[in-house]
Structure 1
């Protein structure tokens, strides 16, 4: 009965989000790719973090990277090497999410925490299928999520933590807290000895505002920003201003994907050169 309640709830929420979505190599050493070449194993090493053997795997994205993996509109990535294994967002389709996990050798049963950036279906749509494989996760979601969504999870026996302000998730890992007004969204901060790793879902509050907030919360340099920057359809002039802001904020490395847009990705690549990382489904970035 609980499973049925959860299924009905998530279907309803996905229908609701359809109507709310209106818009629609860092360091060339030890295996880094040259000149945009794709590495055979899709993995790169980045000597940076205090957390030992930290790595981020892109499981779900609309940009391809490794052959044999499915692409679809949405985003999800897995963070390993932190105190807890964290899944950030779940993409839009649970079948695709789990299939990509299987091909990447990822066991959903070993995920400890799920962080949902915001309510849109392309970020929460894979949750139901994931919970069929692992109901022992703790879900960190914005407190602004509809009560029916939260109550449905609770009634199914899922542990949730409602995030409003700056929140510690586990050692060296934090939520920015809910940002924005119309579409409230949280982003993920991993604090390393070389600076901040920031992971965004769709950046509805504005990517520059999110980065600025992260630096106010942690008071450190920004080592790496990855995820959806919400820049699709933005013109060159405005993108130029955003790039200027990235430089003012001293962002060292970038990996825009999902809703960032092709033009924005091209301009970021031109601006950041070897500090731009081309990401898509299957990309693994290692921090050592």
Structure 2
């Protein structure tokens, strides 16, 4: 599935595989005192949304920009919304705070623009984590490289993130998706860390899942038009095997799971996180769940049923979740569901 081809054992490693029982060697994910997730980029920006004790919104008075057409010489631009996702994750433990950047949005400037309008400097970012290689999650790397001016920033990703992919919709001319360049990223100073397996970051307080076990009967991945280059031709790429999530254990509350697109399936991802850590309780699920469009709408009912059974305290579906799934989740989990919006922060404490 990657640009240079792959050995048979690499192909087998990307296939769904059973994951019965608890993990043989559970990961000791250290509980944290608090995690704050700031949605830097999402598909939606609503300046009229209200917050609460754990949710802070970027309101209509955010992001002052020069505008000579106004008496004051300025106006408020608010947040940029685009078909992409990016989140700033700050973990607090034992009096220390550390910040990671999870995905970077679609365009080169939306993420850094929104961070600036929120008054958030990106100079404190300790590492970048990429959920997968699709361009609507990595496009902001260009803006980040130009903004920081700091070399050797670690970047954690799956080795299949470099896969060439295209969409070949019947009756339309196929078009190739932009492919991330390792050489370019390393040239800009990013220290690329490739991992298929789970990774522990920040002294064991953040888990990056690596490849997610596909164990449900209903989350089948991408439809046939989504294809990958094998080295000799294009083939259906249903798995997007580089898809991974970020997991934090908030002490006394449970797991906080952050997804980019959730190509592995929201329920598969949560199951995988619970199995790896041995922590059964799902406290929060935030990010894209990829339930939009005709190919994925049949997956909505079993996904909603499974998440309802897990009874999370917070569900913030964003990006590619789709409006039908949003309505279904809001109806099934009215006390947990929260509307996502660019510029919103969620603070979850022990």
Return the TM-score normalized by structure 1.
0.77
Report how many aligned residue pairs link the two structures.
240
1:162 aligns with 2:194: yes
What are the within-5 Å matches in structure 2 for residues 133-172 of structure 1? 133-134=147-148, 135-136=150-151, 137-146=153-162, 149-170=181-202, 171-172=204-205
1:56 aligns with 2:37: yes
Moved more, 80-89 or 191-200: 80-89
Match of 2:98, SS? coil
Provide structure 2 residue ranges, at least 5 long, that are not aligned to the other structure: 1-29, 48-59, 61-77, 164-179, 215-237
**Does the 8 Å CA contact 2:284/2:313 hold for their aligned counterparts?**
yes
Match of 1:132, SS? helix
Provide structure 1 residue ranges, at least 5 long, that are not aligned to the other structure: 1-48
Q: Distance in 2 between matches of 1:233 and 1:146?
A: 26
**Does the 8 Å CA contact 1:91/1:124 hold for their aligned counterparts?**
yes
Counterpart position of 1:89: 103
1:65 aligned to which of 41, 46, 56 = 46
**Does the 8 Å CA contact 1:65/1:283 hold for their aligned counterparts?**
no
* Cα displacement string for residues 120-165 of structure 1 (whole angstroms, at most 9, x for unaligned residues): 1100000011011223421111121228722332233321211211
Q: Distance in 2 between matches of 1:200 and 1:236?
A: 19
**Does the 8 Å CA contact 1:84/1:113 hold for their aligned counterparts?**
no
What are the within-5 Å matches in structure 2 for residues 169-248 of structure 1? 169-170=201-202, 171-179=204-212, 182-184=239-241, 185-193=243-251, 194-220=253-279, 221-233=281-293, 238-248=299-309
Q: Distance in 2 between matches of 1:73 and 1:172?
A: 30
Moved more, 117-126 or 129-138: 129-138
The structure that is helix-richer by fraction is 1
Residue 84 of structure 1, CA deviation: 2.5
**Does the 8 Å CA contact 2:312/2:336 hold for their aligned counterparts?**
no
**Does the 8 Å CA contact 1:60/1:281 hold for their aligned counterparts?**
yes
Q: Distance in 2 between matches of 1:69 and 1:155?
A: 30
Q: Distance in 1 between matches of 2:201 and 2:308?
A: 29
Residue 96 of structure 1, CA deviation: 1.4
Q: Distance in 2 between matches of 1:138 and 1:64?
A: 30
Give the number of the structure whose alpha-carbon radius of gyration is greater. Answer: 2
1:131 aligned to which of 145, 151, 155 = 145
When the two chains are superposed, the root-mean-square deviation of aligned CA atoms in Å is 2.1
Return the TM-score normalized by structure 2.
0.64
Q: Distance in 1 between matches of 2:116 and 2:33?
A: 24
Counterpart position of 1:283: 344
Residue 237 of structure 1, CA deviation: 5.7
Q: Distance in 1 between matches of 2:145 and 2:118?
A: 19
Q: Distance in 2 between matches of 1:177 and 1:280?
A: 27
Match of 1:259, SS? coil
Moved more, 111-120 or 154-163: 154-163
Residue 214 of structure 1, CA deviation: 0.8
1:262 aligns with 2:323: yes
